[in-house]
Structures are given as structure tokens and as C-alpha cells.
Amino acid sequence: MIGLGVQAISCSSQKNLTTAKLGLNKEFVQTNLEDARKQINYLASSIQESDIPTTYKDGKYVNWGSSWWCSGFYPGTVLYLYEYTKDEKLLDEAKRKLKHLEKEKNNKGTHDLGFMLYCSFGNALRLTGDSTAYKGVLSTGAASLATRFHEAPKTIRSWDGGKNWDGQPWTYPVIIDNMMNLEFLTEVSKMTGDKRFRDIAIQHANTTMVNHYRKDYSSYHVVDYNPDNGSIISRKTAQGAFDESAWARGQAWGLYGYTMMYRETGEKKYLEQARNIAKFYLNHPNLPKDLIPYWDMDQNKLTKESKYYSQKDLRDVSTAAVTASALLELAQYTKGSESQLYISKAEQMLKSLSAKPYKADYKEAGGYILKHSVGSIPHKTEVDVPLTYADYYYVEALIRYDRMLKGEKVIKQ
């Protein structure tokens, strides 16, 4: 997501960024970030101070509250735009939302505190340097997240309660999305000196690498464990088309997560995992030419009898945004034609996202930046709508690309 501490990868790994051929120019980045600023300012003017945006549907704002997993993305997006524009009004807006979000540092009932606190308070600490205001929130939040780790499965539990598609209660479910919350732990470990947080992140990443991935490096969405001995009860999906499918955003979460874990640890096995995930994703025969994926990469296998058949061809803009940002980082840890491939594919994704039908016009979509994301078709929630996390990773990718144009590191410390 961002990066607060000392980077584990040597500066030599950054060299190819200055020699790679960049296909987008400063004007492209400036135009799209300025459009994003205008949209976010409009969104900010259209909601209540206590609202934390999630989506916009049927002409109405949908705000799920601070305990929803998406709550950190809006202030995080505002902070990224503040970083680029230096507009103090944006910083003020972010701080207003952080006041309503801070209480989630004590939330031990969610695995998503990385999304919620690190995208928001992590960016705030990085940009303001105000450790008095933000360090305590982050360290308390990391301690809350760590309570969900258990030794037998060696993973952080995702959900408490709920049932799978077969109507059976989950026992100890772990979803691939959880890879995205490990950066929170590794960075707070560096910030506080508490090695326990880093150890938990490494154990979770290692277990997920073994148990979540198929031979082709596609990922299952959910692995349900026996918490007493760590054995696997089942491999399922919750948001994909079917259990054995490659739910698109899940593939992006893994790509981003293992790229990040290589940065945080220097362990080459994480780099190899990220490269293999990227190969699966970019070479998938069902990936559209504009590189904005269907919500499930195996949606073409759905039959007319499937209850999702009528929605099978919906795109998920949020997946493309996450993937573009991840590929820009992965490019700095690889060389030659491979690095260039990642940059070129990320550029194509950014060009697609920055044009119709995916990018909203000014004041369209309630002030959200991108349209046509899919939250969860099986749950009938946030289907073909703008989503706050799509905006966050799109802006992050543009910020990362801007750094590349300046010859800077993609990850800002």
C-alpha cells in the first residue's frame, strides 16, 4: 500500500525503473490526478462529515460506516491526492474522516484493519510525520489484528460466523484478501520494534502460499481450517463464480500481497510467487483486450442454469486498479523484458481506466472517480457500481507512476 519504514530491498533493485521505457507522460498523470481531485472534492461536498463513503447507487450515497472493511480507502485516497496537489483542504478533509475512524483501532472482530487503518492513518503518518497523532493508533490497531492469529493454522482468521454456499458454518475461514493486511503488521513491526507482528505476517504469507494456490498459480478464495490442528476442512469461494474458479480480485490481492512481502522481507520465494501469479493473470485466455477483467476469470464457464449467468460478463474495475498498482511495484524487482512487460501492461490498464466507459465525468457517479466495479455478485452487493477501493488503488497507481516519471522509487518511504 504505502511503506513507512526502512525498505528491505536494496536500492539496486530500483535501477531498472530509470532505464525502462515509459509509455505514459507527465500530462497524462497530471490530467487524471487533477480530474480525481475535482471528483473527490465534489464527493466531499456532497456527504455529511460523519459519512465514510463506500459506493453510490441509484442516485444515493451508500456509507457502511467505520467498521466496514472499506472505511480506510476514502481518507487514503484523499491523502494521496493531498500528496500530489499539496492542497491543504484535502488534508483537512482526511483528518475529519480519521476522527470517525480512529475507534476501529480496538476492533478485534475483523481481519481488515490493514485496509481500514494503514491505508488511512499510515498515509497520514507518512505525509505529516505526526507520530503523536498517528503512531499510537497504528500500533494499537496492529495489536488488535494480531489477536486473530492462531498457532495451529498459522494464519489470521478472516470471518467470525457465517456459512458457506453449502449451508455449512465456517470453522476457521481464511480468505486470500488477507494478504493485503500483512503490510500493516510488517510496517508497524519496524515502527515499534515488536518482532511478533512481522513473524505473524510471514507465517500467514507462507501458509497461504502453500494452501491457497493451485498448480497454475490461481488462488482459491477461501480456505477453511481446523483451528485445533491446522488441517484443511475445505477450499471454497464466497465471491467467485464457483469454488474452483479464479475470482478476479482475489488474484489481484495475491499479486499485490506477495510483491509487498518481497519488499518487506527480501525473501525470493515471495518474488517468485508474485511473478507466477502475474504470469497466470496476464496470460489468461479470458482476459479482455482492454485488460479490465471480468469479475471472475472463469465466468465464461458458467452455464445458463447458473444464477449468475445474466451477470457473467460484468467487468471489475477495482481488480484492474489493484493489479496496475501491483505491477508497477513488481517491475522494480525484475529486469529487462519482464520488467518492461509489467510496466507496459500497467500502462494499458491505466489508459483503459482513464477513459470511457470506466472513468466518470465530473460530478457523475456522485463524485467517485471510476465506475463499473463489482463487490460481490453472490451476495448481490455493490454490483456494477463505483467503489471506494477502486478509486484508492487507481490513484495509488497514478502516484506510483508519477514517481517513476521523476526517477523516484515506486514505494515512498
Task: Provide the terminal-to-terminal Cα distance of the chain, rounded to the nearest Å.
Answer: 11
Residues 6+ apart with CB under 8 A from 273: 209, 213, 217, 254, 258
Contacts of 405 (CB under 8 A, 6+ apart): 22, 24, 25, 26, 29
> Is-catalytic flag, 391?
no
Give the count of alpha carbons within 13 A of 325, CB side only: 28
The Cα–Cα gap between 274 and 268 comes to: 10
Is 112 noted as a catalytic residue in this protein?
Answer: yes
Which residues, including other chains, have CB under 8 Å from residue 53's CB and lie 6 or more apart? 43, 47, 61, 62, 63, 74, 368, 388
Which three cell numbers, joined as nine digits, stand for 9?
Answer: 530491498
Q: Grid coordinates standing for 411?
A: 514505494
Alpha-carbon distance of 7 to 125, in angstroms, equals 16
* Short-list 366, 378, 304, CA closest to 54: 366
AA identity, residue 322: V
**Residue 183 backbone dihedrals phi, psi, to 5 degrees:** -60, -35
CB atoms within 10 A of CB 357: 11
Nearest to 80 by CA among 22, 135, 141, 1: 1
Please identify which of the residues 87, 92, 112, 313 carries the catalytic annotation: 112
Cα-trace Rg, the chain: 20
Question: Which residue out of 51, 177, 224, 298 is catalytically annotated?
Answer: 177
Amino acid of residue 16 = N
Question: Which of the residues are catalytic?
Answer: 112, 177
